[in-house]
Structure 1
C-alpha cells in the first residue's frame, strides 16, 4: 500500500500535466489550518486571513470568507452533524477557528460568524470539537485547557499550569484529553477525582498528537525526529527510527488501521502499530514541513498543509486483499485489479465513482463507491450486481451467506444476489452509528452481533435465519466487563453458533448465540451467569476459521488455537485438551491476524505475511461432524490418535447425545470420570428427559438441564437437580411454583427436609429469611 499525492491548484488553469504533478503555491504563509467539510471539499486558511474552499470535483479553489486583519489562525476543525461526510442539513455543520491572540470563532456552513470568544491570554495551539459533538476544547500557550459548549459557553477549566501546551486531542469516547507540554505527554480523564497520567515521551518538544478511534492508542511526533505510539495508560508500544528532520504532524485514519506521519519534505503512511507501508518525498519542488494532516471522514483521502503554503491531497492505492485463489488490488481511485491465482487470469474493474471500500471472501468481491455497491461473483466477473443509494460506506464484512455494510445512515445485511435481508435497529442505534467500527460489529453464519456503544458491556444479537423473530427484536447478551472486540463464528450448523469476545481486561469469553431449548439469551444471563464461559486470558485479537468452528487468538508473545471452543467451553478439561499455544518469538512483536481461511492462519507482522497451518485432521474432523458423519469422524480420530481430536469428538458427540461415541472418545482421551458418568447415563431411558438433562449436566450446562426437566413437567427431578447443586433458593422456588400442579409429591416439604438435614450436618441454625418464613408457614398449617 502507498499514498498517491497531488499538489492542488488555486485556479483551474488549463494544463496537460498529470494531477499529481501540478503545483501552485496558495500563499506565502505557512498553511497550518486545513480540514475537510465533506469527502469532496477542503477548507483551509493561513495568515493572509482568507478562508478558501477547494473542491475535489472541480479541482479548483474559491474564497469563502475573510477573517479580521488582527485574527491570525492557528487551528481549524469542522464539526459535521448532518452526516459523517455529506454536510447534512442547512446550518448543521460548524467550523471552529482559533487564533494566536487567544480568541476562537465559530462559523456556520455559510461562513457567517456565530460566536467570537476571547478564551485565553496567549495563543491557542489546539481547538477541537469532541467526537460526540457535545462541546469543544481549547488549549493554549498560557498552560490552560478549557472545555466549552457547542454554543461557546464555558463549561470547565480542565488544566491550569505554567507550562505552555503545544497540542491537545480528545479521547475517542470524549471522556479524556491528551495534551503535550515540552517533552511530556499527559492524559487527563474528565471524571471527577480522576488522576492525571503524565510521562516523558520525547527528548525534545512534542510537536503533534493523534488519538486513534479504532484502537484507542496515541501517536506522537517530536523534535527528536521520531514518532512513537502509546497505549491509553502511557505504556510505549512503538518507537520509530530517527528521521532526518523533526516529526511535525501525525494523524490516525478515522476508519482504517493507518497512521500518517509528516516531516520536512516527506510524509509516511504507516500501519497503526508503527511499521511503514510507504513514503512520499517532495524535493522538486520543495514543500517544506508538513504542519497539518487531516483525513477525510471516509478515511480514503488526506489533506496536508505545509510550511511553504502548499495544499497537498493524497489517497491510498495498492491496498490488497487475498482470499483463497483471489487477489484484489486497488490500482487507482476508480480502479481495482482482480486476479485469479489458480488460473492466472486478471480482470481490471473500473468504476464511475471513487472507490472508498472493498471486501473479498467466499468467492465474492464487494466494492463500495461513493454512492453504489458493486457485487462481483468470481464466476461472473463481467456481470456485477449494483445497489444504488449506499453512501460513504465505512465497513464491509463478508460471510458465507450474507455480507454486511455499515454506511452513514444505517447497518445493512444483503444476500449476494443484492437482496436486502436485514436492516437491524436497536434502542439508540441511530445515535451510535458514528461510533461503530469493525471491532464493535461482527457478521457470522446466521447471526449479526453489535456492541452497544452507550453500554459497552452489552451485545445485541440479530438472528439472520429467514423468518426468525430476532431479525426485528434482537436478544441481548451482557458481559461483566466492557467489550473490546467481538467475533461471531462463521461456520457450523444452525444449532451450533457461538460468539466470542475480548473484554477490556483482555480476557476471552464465549457464549452460544442460540439456545436449542428456546430460552432467550437474556434469560440465560439473568438466571445463570455460567452461560458465558471464560476460555483464555491476555488476548489482543481473535478470529474464527472460515469453514469450521476453530478459533485463533493472539497474545503478547504467543498465539493460541482452540480446536473446540464452542461445545467444550463449559468444561475446563475439554478446553485444556483442545487448546494449543505456540510461541511467536520468530515472528516479532505486535503480531496481528490477517485471515483464517480453511486450515491456514495468516499472521501479519511488520508488513510481512506469515502463514501457519492448523492441525489438518482437526479441520477435516470439524467438517465431518458438521455433516453428521459420525463413523467417518471416529475413523479420523483412530487414524490420527491425537488427544485434541478425541476431546473434540467427545464434546460434540455428548452435545448431540451420541453416548456410545462419547464413551469411546472420552476413554481414548483418558477422562475416566466422564466414562463412568456416561455409563450411568446409559442406564436411563434412551432419549428421555432425564437422560437429556443428565447429558446437559455433564456438559456443564446446569440451566439447560433444568429447562429440559421443567419443559417436560419433571418437577420432582428438577427440584432434585437443584438440591444436588446445593442451589437451595432455586429448589424452593421451583417447589413453590409447581407444588399445586402435583400436590402428592410434597415438593416443598422435601426441600425443607433436605435443608434441615444439611444445616444439621453443619451444626448451624437456619438463617435465611425465605426458609424461615416457609418453615413458619409450614408449622402453622400443621
Structure 2
C-alpha cells in the first residue's frame, strides 16, 4: 500500500501601497534580482527596489507612445561567441519597449533612447529578446512576426497571418518561435524547410503563454477560464478546472520548477506540471486582473502588474525538504526552520541576505544567498562549517556524498563540505553554455561529474573527482547516437563500480561504465523512461514511466546481458497516481514520488540494498548466506551479476543456478576448468560479461594471437579473425579460419 503526505508552498505577497501608474500596469521586467522597471499608459518609466519598496522615476516617454510590452536584455545574457566569454558590461544592457503604433524603442541603462524602429502596421503586442541576446522578435496586430538584429535591423519576417498575433516567445536555443492566434498555438522552427506545428489550445482566445527554457513545456491561459500545460509537440499534459474568470497571465520560473498563474483577483503558485501549491485571492482591496507576471533572474520571487495599476511583489515561502531525521522549511526570505524529527527540536537559521537556493542531504545543509554560500552540519546547526563568497545568481546547487556543485552565470564549481574549492570543470564552449545548463544535464556523483554539451547534445563530458592534482581540463567525452535529455552518475559504490545512465529523446535509457580505462560501451537497459535517479547508498536505479516505475537492482553489472537485466529489474504499475508524476528523491531504500502536491514514499527491496553494502565491503560469504536465507529471485540474480564481474566464479555459479540460468552455469564451469588467473580465464570471463573487445585485447597484449583468432571465430567475427591472421602472419591460422568458414557455410 502506498501512503502519502502533502507538501505545500505559497507566495508571500506584498502590494505597493502607493499606485504610481494610472490605468492598467501590464509592462514590467527585472533588470537585476532586486530591481524592476515598470511603465504604464502615463508614459512614466519607474525603477523599483524590492528591498525597500521604493521607486525612482527614470524617464518620461513621448506622449504619443503607449507601451504594450517591455523586456530587459542584461549584459550577462549576451555572449561573445568569438571568444566564448560572457559579457557582464553594463554598456550592453538594453531595455526594449513596444507601443500600440507599431514602434519599438531601445533604451540603455541611463534611459537614453538608442534606437526607435517602425516595425509594424498597427499595434505591436509583444517584443522579446532571444535567449542568446543576439536578436529580438516582434509580433503585432498586422499578423506578422519579425526578427530583428540586436541593433534593430530587420532580418526576416517569420510569420504572416490574416489574424493578429497576440503572444510570441522564443525557444531556449533560439531556434524556434511559439505564437498564438485566436484559440490556436503554433511553433515555427527557424530552420529551412521545417514543418509548422499547430494545434487548438483553448475553446476561447489564448490570452497568455510561456515557454519553459528548462522543461520545454508550454503553458497557456485563455478566455475559457483554464490554463493548460503542453509539450513542444502539442500534446496536452495538464488542464486546470474551469475558473470563475479568464486566465490573464502565466509564467514559468527560470529554474523550470514553478509556474505562476494570474487571473481576476487571483494569483496561483503551481508546479511546472500544472497542479497548484497555493491559491491567493484578493478581495480587500481588489486589484483586478493580474497581468505580466515576471520572475526574478534567480527564480525566488516575482513581480506582477494589475488592472488597477497596483504593483505586486511575492516570494516563495514554506518550501520543505527532508533528509534522514532532519526536515527544513523556509519561513521567510532570510530564514530557514530546521526540525529534528527524532528529538523534536526546532532551530531557526537567520541569514544576512535573501536565500536564493538551498539543499539538504548527506548530513549537510547548504544555503546559497545573494552573496554567500553557507555550509552546515546537520548535527551542529548553531554555527556554519564554512562560508564561501559567491555570486548573486546561483542557479544550480547539487549535493553529493563528498562534494557539492554550484553553478552560476560565470562558472561551475565543485567544493568540499569544508568549503575548499575542489574542481572547476572546463571544456570547450562551456562559458557560452552556462545559461543553458540545468539539473537534468548536469550530474554530480561520488567519484565523477558529468555534463551534457549544449552545442552538440549527443556529447557528454565526464570529469573525475579523485583527490590530487587539478583535473579541470582532464576530461573524457562520451559520444552517443541520439540527443541526450537527462544524465545521472552513480552516487555510491567503489571507484571501479561507477556508472552513468542517460535518457535520450526516444525515452530509451542507457548505461555505461565510468572506469578510468573505460571506452564508454553503451548498453540499453529500458524504454519509455521519463526520468531516472540513483539511490544515495547503493548502485540501485529507479526509472519513472507514464503510470509506473522500474527498479534496476544492479544496472551497471547487468547491462551487458539483456537476460540479466530482465532478471534484476522490477516494474510496478501505479495508475492511481495519474500521469503527472515526478521523481522527487531516492534516499536509502525509499523512493519518493510526487503527484498533485502529495508525496508518496515507496520502499524498494530492503535486502538488495543490504546485499550491495555487503558486496561493497567484500563480504562475499555473508552475501551468499543472505541469499540462501531469503531465497528471492531478484536477490540471486543481483548476486550473480556482481559476482561474475568481480571474478567470484564459485559464488556466481551457485547464484546463476538458483536463477535457473543453466547456460551460464555451464559456461562458468568451462571457465573454472581453465588455469586459475590465466589470461585465457580472464578473457573468457570478459566474454561472459559481454566485453568481447576487452577479451581480445587481453589475449593480444599477452601474445596469445592464436587464442584471439579462435575467439573471433567463435564470435563469428570472420573479418576481424582474417585481419589478425594477416597482421601477425599466421598462415596456419589463416587456412584454419577459411576451413571453419567453409564448414559453417558450405554454399
Task: Confirm or deny a common fold (TM above 0.5).
Answer: yes
Whether the 8 Å CA contact 1:464–1:471 is kept in 2: the answer is no
Deviation at 1:702, TM superposition (A): 1.6
Change in CA separation of 1:54 and 1:87 when aligned onto 2, cut-off 3 Å: farther
* 1:777 paired residue number: none
- 1:62 maps to 2:56: yes
Q: Answer with 540-549 or 83-92: which moved more.
A: 83-92
Partner of 2:82: none
CA contact (8 A) 2:77 2:131 kept: no
C-alpha deviation, 1:79, in angstroms: 1.3
Q: Does 1:667 align with 2:657?
A: yes
Select the residue among 13, 23, 26 that pairs with 1:5: 13
Superposed, which structure 2 residues align to 1:6-85 within 5 Å?
Answer: 6-8=14-16, 23-82=17-76
How many Å separate the matches in 2 of 1:387 and 1:284?
Answer: 44
**Greater alpha carbon shift after TM alignment, 67-76 vs 221-230:** 67-76
Cα displacement (A) at 1:81: 2.6
How many Å separate the matches in 1 of 2:698 and 2:477? Answer: 22
Cα 1:91–1:364, aligned 2, differ >3 Å: closer, same or farther? Answer: same
Mean Cα displacement is larger for which, 726-735 or 154-163?
726-735
Separation (CA, whole Å) in 2 of partners of 1:760 and 1:553:
47
The match for 1:644 is 634
How many Å separate the matches in 1 of 2:418 and 2:200? 55
**Structure 1 residues 101-122: Cα deviation after superposition (integer angstroms, max 9, x where no partner):** 1111122222221211111102
Aligned-residue offset at 1:220? 0.1
1:93 to 1:753, Cα distance in 2 relative to 1, 3 A: farther
Q: Determine if the alignment matches structure 1 residue 252 to structure 2 residue 252.
A: yes
Q: How does 1:154-553 map to 2 (within 5 A)?
A: 154-384=154-384, 385-467=386-468, 471-515=472-516, 518=517, 521=518, 524-525=519-520, 531-553=521-543
2:706–2:733 contact (8 Å) kept in structure 1 = no
Equivalent in the alignment of 1:713: 703
1:131-146 correspondence to structure 2 within 5 Å: 131-146=131-146
- Conserved in 2, the CA contact under 8 Å of 1:452 and 1:460? yes
CA apart distance, 1:430: 0.6
Distance in 2 separating the partners of 1:76 and 1:347: 43
**What is the SS of the residue equivalent to 1:27?**
coil
Q: Does 1:579 align with 2:569?
A: yes
Q: Deviations over 1:188-212 (max 9, x none)?
A: 1111111111111111110000001
Change (3 A) 1:93 1:749: farther
Residue 450 of structure 1 aligns to a residue whose secondary structure is strand
Contact 1:84/1:408 (8 A) holds in 2: no
SS of structure 2 residue aligned to 1:353: coil
- 1:574-613 pair list within 5 angstroms: 574-613=564-603
1:722, distance to aligned residue in structure 2 (A): 2.5
Structure 2 CA distance for partners of 1:469 and 1:720, relative to 1, 3 Å? farther
- Counterpart CA distance in 2 for 1:731 and 1:544 is 40
Deviation per residue, 1:304-343 (Å, 9 max, x gap): 0111111111110111101111111010000001111111
Contact 1:732/1:748, CA 8 A, preserved across alignment: no
Please state whether the residue corresponding to 1:484 is helix, strand or coil. Answer: strand
Mapped contact 1:463–1:469 kept (Cα < 8 A): no
C-alpha distance in 2, partners of 1:554/1:145? Answer: 39
Distance across 2 between alignment mates of 1:691 and 1:465: 31
Cα distance, 1:714 vs. partner?
2.7
Alpha carbons of 1:401 and 1:28: their partners in 2 closer, same or farther (altered >3 Å)? same
- Aligned match of 1:634: 624
Contact map agreement 1:461 1:470 (CA 8 A) in 2:
no
Q: Aligned with 1:131: secondary structure? A: coil
Paired residue secondary structure (1:125): strand
Secondary structure in structure 2 of the residue aligned to 1:709: helix
Structure 2, unpaired ranges of 5+: 1-8, 80-85
> For the Cα contact (< 8 Å) 1:87–1:93, is it kept in 2?
no
Shift, 1:706, TM fit: 2.3
What TM-score, normalized by structure 1, do the two folds share? 0.91
CA-to-aligned-CA distance 1:50-97 (integer Å, 9 cap, x gap): 211111234211111221211111111111233699993131211111
Q: Please state how far the C-alpha of 1:467 moved relative to its aligned partner.
A: 2.8
Q: Distance in 2 between matches of 1:496 and 1:748?
A: 42
How many Å apart are 1:736 and its aligned residue?
Answer: 5.3
Q: Alignment partner of 2:721: what SS?
A: helix
Instruction: Determine which of 726, 733, 745 is the counterpart of 1:750.
Output: 733
Contact 2:547/2:577 (8 A) holds in 1? no
2:128, 2:169 within 8 Å by CA — same for their partners in 1?
A: yes
The secondary structure found in structure 2 opposite 1:677 is: helix
Partners in 2 of 1:202 and 1:83 — Cα distance?
33
Cα deviation, residue 172, structure 1: 1.3
1:212–1:751: structure 2 CA closer, same or farther, 3 Å change rule? farther
Unaligned runs of 5+ in 1: 9-22, 526-530, 740-745, 765-782
What's the Cα RMSD here? 1.7
3-state SS of the aligned residue for 2:557?
coil
Residue in structure 2 matched with residue 768 of structure 1 by the alignment: none
Per the TM alignment, residue 222 of structure 1 is displaced from its structure 2 partner at its CA by 0.2
Is the Cα contact below 8 Å between 1:719 and 1:747 reproduced in 2? Answer: no
Equivalent of residue 681 in structure 2, options 677, 691, 699: 691
2:22 touches 2:40 (CA, 8 Å); kept in 1? Answer: no
User: Partners of 1:148 and 1:83 in 2: how far apart?
Assistant: 17
The 1:158/1:748 distance shift into structure 2, 3 A limit, reads farther
Q: 2:693 aligns with which of 694, 703, 707?
A: 703
How far off its partner does 1:647 sit? 0.8
TM-score normalized by structure 2? 0.95
How far apart are residue 237 of structure 1 and its match?
0.6
1:734 shift after superposition: 4.2
Larger deviation: 206-215 or 713-722?
713-722
Q: CA deviation at 1:586?
A: 2.1
Instruction: Work out the CA distance in 2 between the residues paired with 1:298 and 1:655.
Output: 45
Give the corresponding residue for 2:647: 657
356-365 vs 182-191, which deviates more? Answer: 182-191
CA distance in 1, matches of 2:159, 2:130: 17
Q: Which moved more, 1:380-389 or 1:550-559?
A: 380-389
1:508-561 per-position Cα deviation (integer Å, ceiling 9, x unaligned): 11111115xx3xx4xx25xxxxx1011111111111111001101110111111
Q: 1:355 & 1:752 partners in 2: Cα distance?
A: 75
Deviations 1:417-443 (A, max 9, x none): 111110100010111000001111011
Aligned partners of 2:710 and 2:487: how far apart in 1?
38
Matched, 1:678 2:672: no
Preserved CA contact (<8 Å) 2:77 2:133: no
Distance in 2 between residues matched to 1:651 and 1:101, nearest whole Å: 71
Judged with a 3 Å threshold, the aligned counterparts in structure 2 of structure 1 residues 552 and 761 are, in CA distance, closer, same or farther, namely closer
Cα distance in 1 for residues equivalent to 2:739 and 2:130: 61
Q: How many correspondences in the alignment? A: 732
How far did 1:457 drift? 1.0
User: Partner of 2:76: helix, strand, or coil?
Assistant: coil
User: Counterparts of 1:67 and 1:763 in 2: how far apart (Å)?
Assistant: 89
Change (3 A) 1:109 1:211: same
Contact 2:270 2:276 in 1 (8 A): yes
> Take 1:406 and 1:359, find their aligned partners in 2: how far apart are those partners?
13
Q: Kindly indicate whether structure 1 or structure 2 has the higher relative contact order, using CA contacts under 8 Å at least 6 residues apart.
A: 2
1:748 Cα shift? 6.2
SS of corresponding position for 1:566: helix
How many Å separate the matches in 2 of 1:96 and 1:709? Answer: 67
Match of 2:613 among 613, 623, 636: 623
